[in-house]
Amino acid sequence: MIGSGLDLQRAMAAWRELAPDLDLRPVELPAASDPAALQAMLNALDRDGATAFVAADARFLNFYRLELMSIVRGHGVAMPPLVERGAIVGANVKILHNTWIGAGAIIQPGCRIGFNVVIGPGAVVGGSVEIGQSAFIDAGVTVGHGARIGNKATLGLGVSIGHGVAIGAQCVIDRPGRIEADVAAKTFIHSSHAHPMVIVGG
């Protein structure tokens, strides 16, 4: 179990509840730590038969968590998804490695969820939604049927995505409200700005 602060504690508690017989070993990494520190820790561990999970929050737009996950996978360590107790996952849902689905979340049938995704507690994801790698969906967010959430997109508290809407890669939508039209990649919709901003050439 690799991460920092409350996220690491919550992930540890969830895994203990799901698999009480697992030998869980926390690796506490400060949020600003050099990834080389994780490399050194992994080199010192007996990795035979081990699995790992990386927990980190949205302050890094999931990039830091992805970087740590990539280091772990580079050492040949399996990284199963964490589906907390109380989450409901429908039929024919595909969930890739190191994805975290919070308690009370509802994932309706036919969804495809990429690796390293975080779906917060109580979020509702409609049927046949596609969520790209390293997306972050905060607690209580709703995503309509058939929507597409791009790689590394962030949906903040109070956001609701309409049916069939496409949210581009690296978007950050942090203004509560409903989005009924497609949003271009690298668009920031934030409460502190009156109009959406788009990063050009970044």
Give 105-156 pLDDT, tens digit per residue.
999 999 999 999 999 999 999 999 999 999 999 999 999 999 999 999 999 9
pLDDT recorded at residue 102: 96
* Averaged pLDDT, 42-65: 73
- Kindly tell me if the per-residue pLDDT of 100 is higher than 60: yes
Tell me: do 143 and 94 sit in the same domain. yes
Tell me: do 95 and 50 sit in the same domain. no
Q: What is the dihedral of CA 154, 90, 79, 186, to 10 degrees?
A: -20
Q: Greatest CA span in the chain, whole angstroms?
A: 53
Of 74, 101, 128, the residue at which a domain comes to its end is 74
- Sheet of strand 124-125, all strands in order from the earlier edge strand to the far edge: 88-89, 106-107, 124-125, 142-143, 159-161, 177-179
Q: Give how many domains the chain has, as a whole number.
A: 2
pLDDT recorded at residue 200: 60
Stronger pLDDT, 6 or 62, i.e. the higher one: 6
Both structure tokens of 80 = 């199963």
* Averaged pLDDT, 72-85: 91
Percent of the chain scoring above 70 in pLDDT: 88
CB-count burial class (<10 Å; 0-12, 13-18, 19+) for 149: buried
Tell me: do 158 and 191 sit in the same domain. yes
Tell me: do 98 and 191 sit in the same domain. yes
For residue range 160-187, what is the model confidence (pLDDT) as tens digits? 999 999 999 999 999 999 999 999 999 9
- Kindly tell me if the per-residue pLDDT of 202 is higher than 60: no
Long-range CB contact pairs, 34-42, < 8 A, 24+: 35/67, 35/68, 35/71, 38/2, 38/68, 38/71, 38/72, 39/71, 42/71, 42/72, 42/75, 42/77
pLDDT recorded at residue 40: 79
Both structure tokens of 70 = 């990539």
Tell me: do 90 and 69 sit in the same domain. no
Tell me: do 189 and 144 sit in the same domain. yes
Tell me: do 44 and 109 sit in the same domain. no
Going by the DSSP 8-state scheme, the letter that residue 8 receives in this structure is H
Stronger pLDDT, 54 or 90, i.e. the higher one: 90
For residue range 12-26, what is the model confidence (pLDDT) as tens digits? 999 999 999 988 988
Tell me: do 100 and 15 sit in the same domain. no
Tell me: do 41 and 129 sit in the same domain. no
Of 13, 43, 74, the residue at which a domain comes to its end is 74
Assign 3-state DSSP to the chain and report helix, strand, coil percentages, each to 5. 20, 25, 55
Tell me: do 102 and 186 sit in the same domain. yes
CATH number at residue 163: 2.160.10.10
Q: Which domain holds residue 26?
A: 2-74
pLDDT recorded at residue 76: 84
- Kindly tell me if the per-residue pLDDT of 60 is higher than 90: no
Tell me: do 97 and 143 sit in the same domain. yes
How far apart CA 22 and CA 170 sit, in angstroms, is 35
How far apart CA 112 and CA 94 sit, in angstroms, is 5
